[in-house]
Amino acid sequence: MKLDDQKQTPLPCESCPVHHAGNLMKLGVDMTDWDFVVALAGNPNTGKSTVFNALTGLRQHTGNWPGKTVGRAEGGFDYDAHRYKIVDLPGTYSLLSTSYDEEIARDFILFGQPDVTVIVVDATRLERNLNLVLQVLQITDRAVVALNLMDEARRHHLEVDDHRLARDLGVPVVPMAARHGEGIDLLLKAISDVANGRTVCRPRRIQIESPAVQQAVTQLEAELHDRFPNLPNSRWVALRLLDGDVQIAEAIRSGELGNLNRAETVSQAAEVAQS
Amino acid sequence: MNPLTTLLLATVVIAMAVLIWWPERGVLARWRKTRSRAEHVYREDALKHIHKSHISGRRPTLESIAGVIHLSLNETAAILADMQVDELLRIAEGEIALTAKGRESALHIIRAHRLWERYLAEETGWEEASWHGQAEEMEHRLQPAELDALSAQLGFPTHDPHGDPIPDRTGQLMAYDSQTLTTLDADTPARIVHLEDEPETVYAQLVAEGLYPGQIVRLIGSSPERVRFWAGGNEHILAPIMAENIHVVLLPEMIEVDLDKKERLGSLPPGATAEVVALSPTCRGSERRRLLDLGLTPGTLVQAEFQSPGGDPTAYRIRGALIALRQEQADRIQIKRMEA
Amino acid sequence: MINNDKHADLLQTAKQLRWQAGQNFHDQLMEDIYAEAARLADRSVTRPDEKPRFDLDRTIDQIVTHPRWGFLLMILLFTLVFWITISGANVPSGWLATLFLDMGHPWLKEMSALIGLPWWLDGVLIDGMYLATAWVISVMLPPMAIFFPLFTLLEDFGYLPRVAFNLDNIFKKSGAHGKQALSMMMGFGCNAAGVIATRIIDSPRERLIAIITNNFALCNGRWPTQILVASLFLGTLVPAYLAGFASAMAVVGVALLGVFLTFAISWGLSRTMLQGEVSTFSLELPPYRPPRVWQTIYTSLIDRTIFVLWRAIVFALPAGAVIWLAANGTIGGISIAEHMIAFLDPIGWFLGLNGIILVAYIVAIPANEIVIPTILMLIVLSTSMGDAGAGTGVMFELESGAETLSLLQNGGWTTLTAINLMIFSLIHNPCSTTIYTIYKETGSKKWTLVASLLPLALGFVVTFFVAQIWYLFAG
């Protein structure tokens, strides 16, 4: 699946994982027996847990209650000779506020650098769900959108153009009805394509309307880029700093954020290649 | 044992326990409060009062200071003399003036007070009327380094929740050229920049009226008995002594004021649709962030769907989702009603 | 430390730029993101030209939130759920009791005699740990296995958020959240599950209120105690044809007292201890979805029933051992339990209870289910009625009510003891499973302590006043 016709910048190593094993360990995820880590994000009540169960075969209870999964569930699956660990993040409306759930989800995507982040969205309430999608796409450029509850959308006579959405968002979009097992195979393939670098995402960036803010963001982003040339999401970090996010400022101060770059994984890959 | 005796005894014991340990108002809480009113508290309150008097163009006197710190004139004079020795103030020919060092301390206290109010507003659930009292306590305890940390945690705020500027670390204070509502000409639109939070009872009443900094007001008329004005889409009537605690600045004339048309989401009847104009500034902290997360940004279409059998909350259709909001939340969202 | 200096200037720049970005940066950013989301959604979603004339969700909502029918439906549904639970649980509870207690216990005793276990090991393991656990399972499992799936079905359908919506106004008045209605309802099944269910409340203050007051929902483990005591002591106070009705009313009265206390304590907490906690309200009413019955039953059994049961067993095992040891371990020729009873008897008198009841509540803290068996065992122990019961320090229940009644009366029970036991059973510290769950959920020792001691203190106060007033008028 190719998403754009632009020239693709080749990754340092097309098939090697990007996740940050050390940070994942700190977040409580052991990657010893796994090739890739997949994070599962999404608004509450979008069938995220159903998708999780469909992927892993686990029977986690999936309630019709906003905000059901508290904390984190983990599972795993094999696909195409690779072993994937999947982490179900708490359902949140946003990643910009400061609730505990949002912090868990945000920290995992930012510091854990999952190889793929699957964002489960409710096809019947796309506008609201895209809010979270856009926010996640500021942090990571390795994402797949699972357009869930297509059965409900059909029931309400809604037509959702997933190709168009994929083009607009710059990441693969998989229409599915996880309750009935529809679209799971496509989702698996999309995950594997992104994880292995066969699909390269060009995620949509948030447009900022106010010129004053725009200028502030650009300036700060440039400074961040100078300081940490390998930081994959300097623009998002700039936005967080301008929002007065103490945690992100702390992560910069402690150097934790500076460590988040591709360089490490490249050198790891080089080591693996040499041995 | 006689049951009557045990009953009486137990009632007394429980009553005593409640009196002693009741949070805020119990004997223990009060005792802690008074114990903390050490000498430095009197000094700091005096500094604050002198500074505020200078800013508002009043003359601080021994009497006014004694009134503020609740001490006798003699005791107050002694404290002022000590402060003079410590080069915090100068007294010459009845004029009491702050030295540079004194002003610095005064600004530190003001900063502590306003930052703490901001903290209470943003990060706790304390009711608005209790902010001032708590800040009065905390301002004497916070050290400059703690203030820096607090300021950082709150995202370096520039104003306290009443609209007062918070001095920065170097004591820089943004001043307003404000006047009180009572001195405003009738029918001249103005914006509230500050509600005086002392005395507390008056402040509580202003809050209860639904007034807050940033609101646009227009005086309808004033007499020695009462002041009538429009604010926030409602007509208010206050005694002049209360209206004096409302500080306003004149609006540039170009701004078209549509005071009367501003409606709140809370008054939208089921079935009607409206566009969100703004979230009220009184909606703060996590409450505000939550509403924004739900997509209640300006320009959003909201439809009132149905009410709970008790009349509150009401379910609104917001960006495709059905969200229940309580009356007081919905009242913090300004809307423009759409024609059906 | 070096890092500190290295990036301080960057953070300084950020700080200055924040002035340029303005105070309402967060608002603006959210506005921009949502504007973008709306644009994208508009481009890819085609809505039907006309609104369908029949909107199922809206129709259901109109019924379930109807000013009159909404409440009626709610009461009917929950009555139905409780009725199915209570009537459906009796039979399997009996089976389990027969299997574990009447058959399993003697069989185990025979086995231990066969392999020649020393008497104390046999006692601790079989009369203590096994019996306590078996009791908890046979009383607890059937109602939970029925109640939780039913509740979960309502949840999956999307009905429960509407209940919270309907009842929010009432809860708001006591400073709580409408969703507390659900954690409370869950608490009638099991307080530990009720505490877990408070996760749906995302406002810190209201969630703490719901956790601390959940114990006032009369849980499954306490219903049998209430029913037994009410029918033995209160049913006999009225003419025979009214006995059943009177005792049922007494039990319902206690449950309603619990509901009243929930509101009263919520009100008090929100105005005192919890004033400073952040409070926000949000309640999403999700679309209705047809529940998938079998999967729901399966997952709710796994998720809730087994989970809660497992925790209860973990706590019941050591409790069984402690109960047996207290009854059989002796100091100066008198058992530890009797020492405790003698010590607590005067306190018990003040509360209109007695030492035995207090000891039973101390050793049976892991599960309310074993309070009555422990009480019976302790009465036999302390009145030295060697022939009654199942042997020293072995918990038991009697087949006939009359026998139980006469045993309790031998133990000095009066109508006041019965009334105060019912009150104390409602208002005392949560069972250890619940306390542990509260600690897990709040992560705070302070709130765990408050949630445990507040009801206990309240229980002492209420029983004390009832007892003293009783003594005053009844002599």
Q: How far apart are the first and last CA of chain C?
A: 76
Cis peptide before B199 (omega within 30 of 0): yes
Question: What one-character-per-residue DSSP string does C20-88 give?
Answer: HH-TTHHHHHHHHHHHHHHHHHHHHEE--SS--S--HHHHHHHHHT-TTHHHHHHHHHHHHHHHHHHHH
Q: Which residue of B has its CA nearest to A95?
A: B293
Provide CB contacts within 8 A for C140, sequence distance 6+: C190, C220, C221, C309, C312, C367, C369
Residues 405-464 of C with CB under 8 A from A: none
Residues 162-201 of C with CB under 8 A from A: 199-200
Higher pLDDT, A44 or B16: B16
**Directed axis angle between helix C432-442 and helix C445-474, to 10°?**
140
Question: Does the beta-carbon distance from C282 to B294 stay under 8 Å?
Answer: yes
Q: Which of A64, A124, A173 best tests the C interface by mutation, with the highest count of C CBs <10 A?
A: A64
The least confident of B80-89, B211-220, B282-291 is B211-220
Q: How, if at all, do strands B263-264 and B189-195 pair?
A: unpaired
C54 burial type by CB count under 10 A (0-12 exposed, 13-18 middle, 19+ buried): exposed
Residue C103 corresponds to which tokens in the numbers above? 């058959």
How many C-beta atoms lie closer than 10 Å to residue A152's C-beta?
18
Phi, psi (deg, nearest 5) at residue A20: -100, 95
- Residue A14 predicted with pLDDT over 60: no
Higher pLDDT, A219 or A247: A219
Question: Does the beta-carbon distance from A97 to B293 stay under 8 Å?
Answer: yes
**Residue A9 confidence class, pLDDT cut points 50, 70, 90:** very low
Tell me whether C98 touches chain B (CB under 8 Å).
no
Residues 221-260 of C with CB under 8 A from A: none
Tell me whether A152 touches chain C (CB under 8 Å).
yes
Paired with B274 in beta bridges are: B302, B337
Instruction: Note whether residue B202 is domain-resident.
Output: yes
Residues 148-187 of C with CB under 8 A from B: 165-170, 172, 178
Question: Does the beta-carbon distance from C41 to A168 stay under 8 Å?
Answer: no
Residues B291 and B238 placed together within one structural domain of the fold: no
Distance from CA of B121 to the nearest CA of C (A): 10
Instruction: Note whether residue B257 is domain-resident.
Output: no
Strands of the sheet containing A143-148, edge to edge, are A73-79, A82-88, A36-42, A116-122, A143-148, A173-175
pLDDT value of residue C254: 94
Whether C133 and C124 have beta carbons less than 8 Å apart is answered as: no
- The percentage of residues in chain A with a pLDDT greater than 90, rounded to a whole number, is 23
- Neighboring chain C residues of A102 at a CB cutoff of 8 Å: none
Phi, psi (deg, nearest 5) at residue A91: -70, 130
The least confident of A86-95, A114-123, C248-257, C273-282 is C273-282
User: Pick from B83, B98, B113: which residue ends a domain?
Assistant: B98
Q: Give dist(CA A77, CA A189) in Å, integer.
A: 12
Question: What one-character-per-residue DSSP string does B276-333 give?
Answer: EEEE-TTS-HHHHHHHHHTT--TT-EEEEEEE-TTS-SEEEEETTEEEEE-HHHHTTE
- Neighboring chain B residues of C66 at a CB cutoff of 8 Å: 309
User: Pick from B37, B66, B98: which residue ends a domain?
Assistant: B98
Q: Which of A246, A247, A252, A253 best tests the B interface by mutation, with the highest count of B CBs <10 A?
A: A246
Give the side-chain half-sphere CA count within 13 A for C229.
Answer: 28
Provide CB contacts within 8 A for A27, sequence distance 6+: A107, A108, A111, A112
Higher pLDDT, C155 or A121: A121
Instruction: Note whether residue B301 is domain-resident.
Output: yes
pLDDT value of residue B340: 58
Domain count, chain B: 3
Question: Does the beta-carbon distance from A125 to B294 stay under 8 Å?
Answer: no
Question: Is residue B56 helix, strand or coil?
Answer: coil
Over residues C150-185, the pLDDT tens digits come to: 888 888 888 989 999 999 999 999 999 999 998 998
Residues B38 and B92 placed together within one structural domain of the fold: yes
Paired with A182 in beta bridges are: A177
**Directed axis angle between helix A211-227 and helix A234-242, to 10°?**
120
Q: Give dist(CA C328, CA C51) in Å, integer.
A: 75
Q: In whole angstroms, how far apart are CA B228 and each of A102, B219, B244?
A: 46, 6, 13
Question: Does the beta-carbon distance from B153 to A98 stay under 8 Å?
Answer: no
**Residue B213 confidence class, pLDDT cut points 50, 70, 90:** confident
Q: In whole angstroms, how far apart are CA A26 and each of A20, A90, A249, C82, C195?
A: 10, 18, 19, 45, 29
Over residues B103-120, the pLDDT tens digits come to: 888 888 888 998 999 888
- The percentage of residues in chain B with a pLDDT greater than 90, rounded to a whole number, is 11
- Residue B1 predicted with pLDDT over 80: no
Mean pLDDT, rounded, for A217-225: 89
Q: In whole angstroms, how far apart are CA C33 and each of A139, A240, B188?
A: 14, 14, 38
Tell me whether C464 touches chain B (CB under 8 Å).
yes
**Residue A13 confidence class, pLDDT cut points 50, 70, 90:** low
Instruction: Note whether residue B245 is domain-resident.
Output: yes
Distance from CA of C284 to the nearest CA of B (A): 5
User: Pick from B74, B98, B122: which residue ends a domain?
Assistant: B98
pLDDT value of residue B168: 73
- Neighboring chain B residues of A99 at a CB cutoff of 8 Å: 286
**Residue B304 confidence class, pLDDT cut points 50, 70, 90:** very high
Mean pLDDT, rounded, for B285-313: 88
Whether A12 and A200 have beta carbons less than 8 Å apart is answered as: no
Q: Out of B4, B300, B310, whose CB is closest to C169?
A: B310
Phi, psi (deg, nearest 5) at residue A176: -155, 165
Whether A83 and A76 have beta carbons less than 8 Å apart is answered as: yes
Question: Does the beta-carbon distance from B158 to C15 stay under 8 Å?
Answer: no
Q: Which of B174, B318, B326, B327 best tests the C interface by mutation, with the highest count of C CBs <10 A?
A: B326
Q: Which residue of A has its CA nearest to C15?
A: A242
Residues B244 and B275 placed together within one structural domain of the fold: no
- Neighboring chain A residues of B152 at a CB cutoff of 8 Å: 246, 249
Q: Give dist(CA B66, CA B76) in Å, integer.
A: 6
Tell me whether A249 touches chain C (CB under 8 Å).
yes
Q: Which one, of B239, B241, B195, lies nearest residue B217 by Cα?
A: B195
Strands of the sheet containing B234-238, edge to edge, are B179-180, B246-250, B189-195, B216-222, B227-231, B234-238
Tell me whether A45 touches chain C (CB under 8 Å).
yes
- Neighboring chain C residues of A169 at a CB cutoff of 8 Å: 40
Residues B49 and B93 placed together within one structural domain of the fold: yes
Residue span of the structural domain in which B200 resides: 179-250
Q: Out of A101, A152, A242, whose CB is closest to C21?
A: A242
pLDDT value of residue B274: 93
Mean pLDDT, rounded, for A105-120: 90
Tell me whether C293 touches chain A (CB under 8 Å).
no
Instruction: Note whether residue B256 is domain-resident.
Output: no
Residues B227 and B282 placed together within one structural domain of the fold: no
Task: Show the 3-state SS of chain A.
Answer: CCCCCCCCCCCCCCCCCCCCHHHHHHCCCCCCCCCEEEEEEECCCCCHHHHHHHHHCCCCCCCCCCCCCCCCEEEEEEECCEEEEEEECCCCCCCCCCCHHHHHHHHHHHHCCCCEEEEEEEHHHHHHHHHHHHHHHHHCCCEEEEEECHHHHHHCCCEECHHHHHHHHCCCEEECEHHHCECHHHHHHHHHHHHCCCCCCCCCCCCCCCHHHHHHHHHHHHHHHHHCCCCCCHHHHHHHHHCCCHHHHHHHHCCCCCCCCHHHHHHHHHHHHHC
Residues B320 and B271 placed together within one structural domain of the fold: yes
Q: Out of A97, A124, A131, whose CB is closest to B289?
A: A97
- Residue A7 predicted with pLDDT over 50: no
Question: What one-character-per-residue DSSP string does C141-154 give?
Answer: HHHHHHHHHHHHHH
Residue A28 corresponds to which tokens in the numbers above? 């409580």
Kindly report the CATH number assigned to the domain that includes residue B78. Answer: 1.10.10.10
Residues 268-307 of B with CB under 8 A from A: 286, 289-290, 292-295
Instruction: Answer left, alpha or beta for residue A80, where phi above 0 means left and psi between -120 and 50 means alpha.
Output: left
pLDDT value of residue C415: 92
pLDDT value of residue A184: 92
Over residues B248-292, the pLDDT tens digits come to: 877 654 444 444 456 889 889 998 999 998 888 778 778 888 899
Residues B193 and B242 placed together within one structural domain of the fold: yes
Q: Give dist(CA C303, CA A68) in Å, integer.
A: 13
Distance from CA of A165 to the nearest CA of C (A): 6
Residues B239 and B276 placed together within one structural domain of the fold: no
Distance from CA of A15 to the nearest CA of C (A): 31
Provide CB contacts within 8 A for C163, sequence distance 6+: C74, C178, C181, C182, C185
pLDDT value of residue A117: 95
Q: What is the mean pLDDT of chain A?
A: 79
| Chains interfacing with A (3 or more CB pairs < 8 Å) | B, C
- Neighboring chain C residues of B294 at a CB cutoff of 8 Å: 282
C85 Cα distance to chain centroid: 15
- Neighboring chain C residues of A208 at a CB cutoff of 8 Å: 28-29, 32
Tell me whether C350 touches chain B (CB under 8 Å).
yes
- Neighboring chain C residues of A60 at a CB cutoff of 8 Å: 299, 303
pLDDT value of residue C34: 92
Q: Which residue of C has its CA nearest to B280?
A: C27
Q: How far apart are the first and last CA of chain A?
A: 33
- Amino acid identity at B309: P
Instruction: Answer left, alpha or beta for residue B270, where phi above 0 means left and psi between -120 and 50 means alpha.
Output: beta
Instruction: Note whether residue B216 is domain-resident.
Output: yes
Question: Does the beta-carbon distance from B293 to A93 stay under 8 Å?
Answer: yes
Q: In whole angstroms, how far apart are CA C325 and each of A132, A193, C112, C411?
A: 58, 63, 18, 21
Over residues B86-98, the pLDDT tens digits come to: 888 888 877 888 8
Residues 2-41 of A with CB under 8 A from C: none
- Residue A66 predicted with pLDDT over 60: no
Question: Does the beta-carbon distance from C23 to B159 stay under 8 Å?
Answer: yes
Whether A82 and A88 have beta carbons less than 8 Å apart is answered as: no
Distance from CA of C18 to the nearest CA of B (A): 9
- Residue A40 predicted with pLDDT over 80: yes
- Residue A2 predicted with pLDDT over 50: no
Instruction: Note whether residue B123 is domain-resident.
Output: no
Residues 72-131 of A with CB under 8 A from C: 94, 96, 99, 101, 124, 126-128, 130-131
**Directed axis angle between helix C371-383 and helix C307-328, to 10°?**
10
Q: Give dist(CA B290, CA C279) in Å, integer.
A: 11
Residues B269 and B333 placed together within one structural domain of the fold: yes
Residues B282 and B227 placed together within one structural domain of the fold: no
Tens of pLDDT along chain C (475 residues)? 344 556 778 887 887 777 666 667 888 889 999 999 999 998 888 887 766 667 788 889 989 998 888 889 999 998 898 889 888 888 888 898 889 888 888 899 889 888 888 888 888 888 888 988 888 888 888 888 888 888 888 888 889 899 999 999 999 999 999 999 989 988 988 898 899 888 888 888 899 999 999 999 998 889 888 988 998 898 888 888 888 888 889 999 999 999 999 999 999 998 888 887 778 888 889 888 887 788 778 777 777 778 778 877 888 888 888 888 888 888 888 888 889 999 999 999 989 999 999 999 998 887 888 888 889 888 888 876 555 555 666 777 777 778 888 888 888 899 999 999 999 999 999 998 899 989 988 889 999 999 999 999 999 999 999 999 999 888 6
Q: Which residue of B has its CA nearest to A156?
A: B320
**DSSP single-letter state for residue B201:** H
**Residue B170 confidence class, pLDDT cut points 50, 70, 90:** low
Q: What is the mean pLDDT of chain B?
A: 82
Residues B35 and B71 placed together within one structural domain of the fold: yes
Q: Give dist(CA B81, CA B77) in Å, integer.
A: 6
| Chains interfacing with B (3 or more CB pairs < 8 Å) | A, C
Q: Which one, of C284, C156, C68, lies nearest residue B315 by Cα?
A: C284
- Residue A274 predicted with pLDDT over 50: no
Count interface pairs A-C at CB distance under 8 A.
176
**Directed axis angle between helix B39-55 and helix B73-85, to 10°?**
90
- Residue A122 predicted with pLDDT over 80: yes
pTM, two decimal places: 0.80
Q: In whole angstroms, how far apart are CA C354 and each of B10, C418, C466, C471?
A: 19, 11, 14, 15
pLDDT value of residue C344: 93
Residue B144 corresponds to which tokens in the numbers above? 């400059």
Instruction: Note whether residue B93 is domain-resident.
Output: yes
Kindly report the CATH number assigned to the domain that includes residue B306. Answer: 2.30.30.90
Higher pLDDT, A56 or C165: C165
Higher pLDDT, C247 or A21: C247
- Neighboring chain B residues of C172 at a CB cutoff of 8 Å: 312, 326
Question: Does the beta-carbon distance from B313 to C283 stay under 8 Å?
Answer: yes
Query: Nearest 5°: CA angle at C197, between C195 and C201?
Result: 100
pLDDT value of residue B141: 84
Residue B19 corresponds to which tokens in the numbers above? 């009196």
- The percentage of residues in chain C with a pLDDT greater than 90, rounded to a whole number, is 32
Q: How far apart are the first and last CA of chain B?
A: 76
Residues B45 and B83 placed together within one structural domain of the fold: yes
